[in-house]
Chains A and B, each alone.
Chain A
């Protein structure tokens, strides 16, 4: 991307929002429209209008209604929510940990969620009052338990909870939980494919129920992070400086950690561990439009949603009818893009570390 282009966009925050929003909308329509059955954009708009405002269908194919409203739209929506959650959480963690290479999985939250999910699959647990929801609910619970254990442990090491301590604690727990997951995989027989498939991540065949499951966590987590954008800015200059500027560092850090973990845990619970979204998207946005979290968080949210919708679209169409795990796609796209960003940045650019 040539420099004048970057400069043109970095000058104007309005154009940034416009650009990212158009990207998101285009992704949504592409995600709904493209597939084994093509649905024209005009029909999609009519269908939306019908479902949201009760307008007549005006001769739209009835099977389209099924495809769009029962299958593709919830799938696109779920992919969008997961992508948005991971990107916002990633942006917040990178700011809090003052490390542009941090991602939502750094603190072991995803390992906690995965361990919970794999345990459900491995033991074939079926909680009676949750039935089909056993896995995501257990998974979210496991992720929240994990972040609190990580925080308590970090606090036990050092009362002031420096970010370095939190990162180290997160890595310890990640490794430990990873080992437990590996153990279960090693001991498993028939469910192996199921477990691996879940671990690689997917948003297929989840339906509206999963959207209802992730939505409250997404709203709560995103809201909490967005209102702490100024604190995240202050904390990027170190915790000491943030305190000098008037930030109640200990409390705000805890809120950001918990909010980010809720987002991550919920995303992992409904879709498995999808890598790279939380790392690449905020990094990319920061590179173009600067590190100010008041803009970084909402821009990352929209871009993350659009990115994951497109990744899902590729995952299900590239060797159709077979579906690839979405995590594979994000990594295959994400890793080279990330490598190119790093190379370019080394040569010129805004110099973001």
Chain B
């Protein structure tokens, strides 16, 4: 569709774009990225024929763009600039209808049926039909941008060039606009070339990306190939953290803000943060902790401040147990969005906690353990699927800055410590009468302050792993013992 070879150019004698070569296929969404002043807009203006190329070639459908007349080019290619100046208050309909200019011929052009259809379709697609008769000056910036998009679509182009199309749009229209472009690209084969300010939007919607740095190509390829942490940090000269999108297999970049001294002050999570009633054990952190957990509420990755282990009856059964948990949390004034919540049928006075410090890292563990439905994992297939409230809930709070790797290893280490405790206490699976490795509904939480010393690992012989192993093992043993005592009493 578009072939660009060895393209250089700029304004007057100053070259802004240097030796770019790439091609864009029909129906592709092609994103152009780069910091301010990297020549993105100049490149777009060269493709649209406003800025002449000083060297190299731009071919559309195998023909040099210089050889197109303005009208021919306007039928092939429409442009949505960042800002369109307007001196007079045309109505929205008049503005969109101007998109048909290139399709009209003759000294006094006739407004044909297909012109009207194209205009109506464009206004419907962009949701601008509702203000067709109002003046564009009465519209907000985002609405205006949609009107000019409708104008570009009314040109019925094969290629659409956009310069930061989502700039003035609010969130829902950003998504709507890009979804519309994606749909048109897929269904009608519209080729979209767009400058993006927002790396994440570009990653989500573009088939391929061009990363520019000082007028030269710095990267070209799939979003996953171009959006690498190191190359983005180098080109944008700023701290960036790359993570996968939670639902879509595309990389997402996060800005890392400079931390203030207050945000770097060390925080220690220990037994002073714990509160206990007959109904719940809670731990309140002064700051949000980074968490990886399998609780009822706040599971997965997250940032949480409150941690609640709720006591429920042995025969507790609730279809919407998550909703029930939220109601419970609200009743006791916990913020549901900032809380990791778990449930247990164990008497809460049997809970055990330990604070263990190894070298530059410390760990505070809280465990409640009952083994009423203990399971031997190697023979768990023999069990039926009765779901009972969790019985060994393990909380690990690490006072340190953990890598994601360390989080995962912490889960392993804590689990191994728990299994070892069950082994030493000789807990048996009542069904198979073999050694149990846990219960059917165990839950775990790893939370870290993300301040203080950096911990890359939490394997069993790393300082963090050693602390976790000791704390979790001792807590679990103690909790099992007090639970057994409690059960004997009753």
Contact = CB atoms under 8 A, between A and B. Distances in A.
Contacts of B86: 236-237
Interface residues of B, number: 37
A236 B79 CA distance: 16
Interface in A334-353: 350-353
A351 B137 contact: yes
B102 A246 contact: yes
A252 to B, nearest CB: 9
Contacts of B155: 245-246
A291 B98 contact: no
Interface in B199-228: none
Contacts of A100: 87-88
Main secondary structure of the interface of A (DSSP, over half): loop
A290 B91 contact: yes
Given A243-B49, A245-B74, A246-B73, A230 B104 contact: yes
B88 A352 contact: yes
Contact of A244 (B48, B69, B85): B48
B406 interface: no
Contact of B50 (A231, A243, A353): A243
Interface in B276-319: none
A105 to B, nearest CB: 19
A353 B48 CA distance: 30
Interface in A268-324: 286, 290-292
A238 interface: yes
Given A98-B87, A237-B84, A243-B70, A350 B109 contact: no
A350 B87 contact: no
A350 B101 CA distance: 25
A247 interface: yes
Interface in B119-144: 135, 137-138
A234 B84 contact: no
B36 to A, nearest CB: 20
A247 B85 contact: no
Residue among A95, A100, A227, A291 with the highest chain B CB neighbour number at 10 A: A291
B255 to A, nearest CB: 32
A231 B101 CA distance: 8
A290 B94 contact: yes
Given A234-B101, A351-B137, A247 B70 contact: yes
B90 interface: yes
B138 to A, nearest CB: 7
Contacts of B84: 237-238, 241
Interface string B332-365: 0000000000000000000000000000000000
A126 interface: no
B101 A245 contact: yes
A51 B85 CA distance: 52
Interface in B154-202: 155
A191 interface: no
B156 to A, nearest CB: 12
Given A240-B50, A244-B78, A248-B69, A353 B102 contact: no
Interface in B57-106: 69-75, 78-79, 81, 84-91, 94-95, 98-99, 101-102, 104
B98 to A, nearest CB: 6
Contacts of B138: 351
Contacts of B135: 350-351
A244 B151 CA distance: 11
Nearest to B102: A246
A233 B107 contact: no
Nearest to B104: A230
A237 B74 contact: no
Given A243-B50, A244-B74, A246-B73, A286 B102 contact: no
A227 B104 CA distance: 13
Contact of B94 (A233, A238, A240, A246): A233
A99 interface: yes
Q: Output the residue of B94, B98, B135 with the most chain A CB within 10 A.
A: B98
Contacts of A231: 101
B447 to A, nearest CB: 55
Nearest to B137: A351
The residue in A227, A236, A286 that gathers the most chain B C-beta atoms within 10 A of its C-beta is: A236
B78 A227 contact: no
Interface in B417-448: none
A98 B87 CA distance: 5
Given A230-B109, A244-B78, A291-B90, A237 B99 contact: no
A2 B71 CA distance: 42
B74 A246 contact: yes
A227 B74 contact: no
Contact of B85 (A227, A238, A286): A238
Q: Which of A236, A244, A351, A353 has the most CB of B within 10 A?
A: A244
A282 to B, nearest CB: 11
Given A227-B108, A248-B70, A351-B135, A236 B87 contact: yes
Contact of B70 (A95, A99, A246): A246
Contacts of B78: 244
B116 to A, nearest CB: 16
Contacts of A292: 90, 94
A261 to B, nearest CB: 21
Contacts of A248: 69-71
B46 to A, nearest CB: 13
Contact of A352 (B81, B89, B102): B89
A231 B155 CA distance: 15
Given A227-B107, A245-B155, A353-B88, A240 B102 contact: no
B89 A245 contact: no
Contacts of A240: 50, 81
Which 5 A-B residue pairs are closest in the complex by CB-CB distance?
A246-B74, A246-B102, A291-B88, A98-B87, A244-B79
18 contacts: A95-B88, A230-B98, A230-B101, A231-B101, A233-B98, A236-B87, A238-B84, A238-B85, A241-B85, A244-B79, A246-B102, A247-B101, A248-B69, A248-B71, A290-B94, A351-B89, A351-B135, A351-B138
Interface of A: 95, 98-100, 227, 230-231, 233-234, 236-238, 240-241, 243-249, 286, 290-292, 350-353
Given A233-B98, A237-B84, A238-B85, 18 more contacts: A98-B85, A227-B108, A231-B101, A233-B94, A237-B86, A237-B98, A241-B84, A243-B50, A244-B48, A244-B79, A244-B152, A246-B73, A249-B70, A290-B89, A291-B89, A352-B89, A352-B137, A353-B89
